[in-house]
C-alpha cells in the first residue's frame, strides 16, 4: 500500500516538473537572447532567443532570413541563413546568398536583463556562389545591446 502511494507521489512530482519546465521554456526560460531589442527597435530578432530572422531596420543587407543556429546557449553560437549583398557598382544582386553568423560575448544588455550574446559577426561571399569572406562586426558595432553609434 505504501509503495503504491510512493509511486503516485513520484509520478505527480515528475509531471509537475515537466509542466514547470515546459512553461519556463515557453516563456523563454533562461536561454540567452541575441543582443537587446533596443539595438534595432524597428527591426526583428534582437532581444529574442535563437531568432530565425534578424533585421536591423536598414537596407536589405541588414536582413538575414531562414537562420538555423547551432550551439545556442554555449560560449559561441553559429548560425546560417540567407541575405542580400551589394553589387560592386551599386544595387543588390537579385539572388540571396549564404550568410554565416557568430554570436559571442555572453553577458547581459541590462543589469537585471536576461543572459544575452552581446556581439554578433557575419560573413558573406562577395558575389553569389563565391566563397565566404572575412568576419565583420554586425553593423560595424562592438555591442548589439543598444542603438548603434551615429
What is the pLDDT, as a whole number, of residue 133?
Answer: 98
Closest alpha carbon to 33 in 124, 133, 103, 93? 103
- Give me the domain span that covers residue 86: 33-140
CA pair distance 74, 53, nearest whole angstrom? 20
Domain count, the chain: 2
Is the residue at 149 inside a domain?
A: no
Instruction: Please report the pLDDT score of residue 3 as a whole number.
Output: 55
Question: Residue 21: what pLDDT?
Answer: 38
DSSP state letter for 17: H
Q: Are residues 114 and 80 in the same domain?
A: yes
**What is the reported pLDDT for 28?**
47
Q: What's the first-to-final CA gap in the chain, in angstroms?
A: 72
Ordered mean pLDDT values, 10 residues apiece, the chain (150 residues): 50 39 46 97 96 95 98 98 96 97 97 96 97 96 85
Does 124 lie in the same domain as 59?
Answer: yes
Per-residue pLDDT at 17: 40
CB atoms closer than 10 angstroms to residue 108:
15
Residue 74 and residue 39 share a domain: yes
> Is position 24 within any domain?
yes
What local confidence, expressed as pLDDT, does residue 29 receive?
59
Instruction: Evaluate whether 117 touches 91 at the Cβ level (below 8 Å).
Output: no
Question: Does residue 104 share a domain with residue 80?
Answer: yes
What pTM value is reported for the model? Answer: 0.79
Q: Are both 85 and 126 inside the same structural domain?
A: yes
Task: Report the pLDDT value the prediction gives residue 27, as an integer from 0 to 100.
Answer: 41
The reported pLDDT for the residue numbered 1 is 54
Amino acid at each position: 500500500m505504501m509503495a503504491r502511494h510512493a509511486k503516485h507521489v513520484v509520478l505527480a512530482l515528475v509531471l509537475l516538473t515537466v509542466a514547470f519546465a515546459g512553461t519556463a521554456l515557453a516563456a523563454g526560460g533562461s536561454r540567452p537572447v541575441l543582443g537587446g531589442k533596443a539595438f534595432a527597435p524597428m527591426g526583428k530578432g534582437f532581444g529574442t532567443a535563437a531568432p530565425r530572422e534578424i533585421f536591423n531596420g536598414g537596407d536589405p543587407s541588414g536582413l538575414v532570413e531562414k537562420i538555423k543556429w547551432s550551439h545556442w546557449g554555449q560560449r559561441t553560437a553559429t548560425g546560417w541563413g540567407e541575405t542580400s549583398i551589394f553589387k560592386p557598382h551599386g544595387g543588390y544582386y537579385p539572388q540571396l546568398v549564404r550568410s554565416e553568423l557568430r554570436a559571442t560575448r555572453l553577458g547581459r544588455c541590462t543589469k537585471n536583463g536576461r543572459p544575452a550574446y552581446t556581439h554578433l559577426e557575419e560573413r558573406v561571399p562577395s558575389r553569389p556562389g563565391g566563397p565566404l569572406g572575412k568576419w565583420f562586426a554586425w553593423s560595424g558595432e562592438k555591442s548589439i545591446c543598444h542603438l548603434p553609434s551615429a
